[in-house]
Amino acid sequence: MEIYFARCLGFSFLTIAVLTIMLTGSIPLTSEIKESVTTDEDDPKAPYAIPTLMVTSIFHSACAFYAYTWYVTGGQGLFAVGVAGYSSIAAIGLWCMLFASSNGRISRRTGADKRTTGFPFKNSEAAKKHRKGL
């Protein structure tokens, strides 16, 4: 009976993970090529995208910590596999919150990403703008 409940719980976690990915819009549900989920006001999925990612990333981080504590106390290798799985899902969620949202620093005029630096390559476009302004 315990094996059954454990497998049901595992399948429910997988279902929640897939449902979360689909709710955030990371995977397109249609074959049409559209822009990814944005946080613009007119996007109907906008209010749910980032909070859903945040909650599920915290959930998977907590599950990874719980599996890690069981691995440290019991020493069973399957808990290490669980730690790796939960940690990777939490890391992907964190990556999506940081880099896949449209709240990035994209210039409206040039379309360039403002978060880039000049290391190790020189930013010639920025240098041209600074020369013109001085």
pLDDT tens per residue across span 109-124: 666 665 555 566 666 6
Give this prediction's pTM. 0.55
Give me the pLDDT at residue 47, please.
Answer: 63
In this structure, is residue 69 part of a structural domain? yes
Give me the pLDDT at residue 35, please.
Answer: 59
Quote the number of domains for the chain. 1
In this structure, is residue 12 part of a structural domain? no
Q: Distance between CA 57 and CA 60 in Å, rounded?
A: 5
Quote the crossing angle between the two packed helices 46-74 and 2-24, to the nearest 10°. 150
What is the mean pLDDT of the segment spanning 93-113? Answer: 68
Q: Give the rounded distance of the alpha carbon of 111 from its chain centre.
A: 23
In this structure, is residue 32 part of a structural domain? no
What is the mean pLDDT of the segment spanning 2-10? Answer: 71
Overall size of the chain counted in residues:
134
Q: Distance between CA 123 and CA 89 in Å, rounded?
A: 35
Task: List the structure tokens of 83.
Answer: 């730690």
In this structure, is residue 90 part of a structural domain? yes
Answer yes or no: is pLDDT of 91 > 90. yes
Q: Which residue segment(s) compose the domain that 54 sits in?
A: 46-103
In this structure, is residue 124 part of a structural domain? no
Answer yes or no: is pLDDT of 45 > 80. no
In this structure, is residue 133 part of a structural domain? no
Per-residue pLDDT reduced to its tens digit, 7-36: 758 877 887 887 777 777 666 655 665 555
